[in-house]
Amino acid sequence: MKLLLKDGTAFEGKSFGAPGSTAGEVVFNTGMTGYVESFSDPSYAGQIVVLTYPLIGNYGVPDKKVFESEKMQISGLVVSEYSEKYSHADAKESLGEWLKRSGVPAITGVDTRALTKKLREHGVMLGQLTNDRVGKFSDPNEENLVAQVSPKKKKVYGNGPIQIIAVDCGMKENIIRSLAQKDVTLIRVPWDYDFTAEKYDALVLSNGPGDPTQCTATIEHIKKAMADNKPILGVCLGNQLLALAAGAKTYKLKYGHRGQNQPCIDTETGRCYITSQNHGFAVDAKSLPREWKEWFINANDGSNEGIAHSSKMWRSVQFHPESSPGPTDTAWIFERFLEDLRKLV
């Protein structure tokens, strides 16, 4: 099997996933562990993932109850060395078996260091995993990926007095776990659902894949929520959607942030947190309206990692405070959001 990049570069290796070919955007992830959570994260839809950590698969795959969605979401996988033998108390199958069952091609034996260096210098590239001749290169960001991964119907969790609308643009399950408290009724709705007709106390905007400007319906609904002065918390793609609703702009990063080791600085305290991330787009901080400020900044490249309104309860972060995988250092963001809501309701 070969990994073919759009510039003509080819990397050869051995197939260990599903047979057949796949196309997508080739990106790299710097996490040392957490492939189960990452591969089931809907934010990875349309992407061929290159893992920089050299040995993958050694702890297998556990029961799907710990997945971040119902299925594997990546389009393809590239690793340096795949471990066919796995050992973990919770493992139910091998990574290769999960890939085959999910219909996702994968390749091992690739010089992922050289590949990652190429992606860092050039930026993310379109690519294909194939045993055959070159097919069509397709850019997933030209599609509305959010519409593909978002659920079709709303779902309600709990029956507490605090009513929270959670817009599912490709939401990780641990966001639900983080918000589903005893005093909360969590209403999970599709990306284009008009929640403004619902009775609710606050709004949560989830993570998700692709270009945020494709989510025009979501952005319009957020604007209505802002006009009604509803408290809002955004996560990952939610950071970008909130910024767009506020009148700011977004742009595509050269190679994105993917992994569990991204340092972010809280501008209010000066503290640096290590965070879990997966995004290819970012908010243009210079385009933020005057009443908005940057809440977090990436310590590596200075890009935006969160925004906050000067007087309203409107805040969002570009990273994943729910982790899964990754450090739980910023779980306090959900806790503070809920505490602030309890004072209002």
Q: What's 57's domain CATH number?
A: 3.50.30.20
Q: Which residue, 125, 142, 159, sits at the end of a domain? A: 142
**280 and 332 belong to one structural domain:** yes
Together in a domain, 38 and 50: yes
* Angle (CA) 150 228 245, round 5°: 50
| 92 lies in the same domain as 165 | no
Cβ pair 106, 78 in contact under 8 A: yes
- Within 8 A by CB and 6+ apart from 88, the residues are 59, 60, 62
CA distance 274 to 291: 27
> What CATH number corresponds to the domain at position 255?
3.40.50.880
Which residues form the domain of 163? 145-344
273 three-state secondary structure: strand
**Which band of pLDDT confidence, cut at 50, 70 and 90, is reported for residue 81?**
very high
Q: What is the pLDDT of residues 201-213, one digit of tens each?
A: 999 999 999 999 9
Q: What is the pLDDT of residue 345?
A: 83
- 104 and 191 share a domain? no
Q: Are residues 186 and 207 in the same domain?
A: yes
Please tell me whether residues 182 and 328 are part of one structural domain: yes
Residue with token string 């270009």: 211
Both 131 and 152 in one domain: the answer is: no
One domain for residues 126 and 197: no
The percentage of residues in the chain with a pLDDT greater than 70, rounded to a whole number, is 100
Q: Which pLDDT tens digit goes with each residue over 42-69?
A: 999 999 999 999 999 999 999 998 899 9
| Whole-number Å distance between alpha carbons of 297 and 306 | 7
User: Above 80 in pLDDT, residue 134?
Assistant: no
Does the structure show a pLDDT above 90 at 136? Answer: no
- Residues 216 and 308 grouped into a single domain: yes
Residues 95 and 196 in one domain: no
Average pLDDT for residues 248-270, to the nearest whole number? Answer: 97
Single-letter amino acid, residue 247:
G
| 189 and 326 belong to one structural domain | yes
Split into its structural domains, the chain has a count of 2
Q: Which two tokens stand for residue 164?
A: 């929270």
Strand order in the sheet with 202-205: 155-157, 184-190, 162-168, 202-205, 232-235, 314-317, 304-309, 292-298, 249-266, 272-284
Q: Which residues contact 336 (CB under 8 A, 6 or more apart)?
A: none
Q: Do 186 and 47 fall into the same domain?
A: no
Label residue 135 by pLDDT band (50, 70, 90).
Answer: confident
Catalytic residues: 236, 320, 322
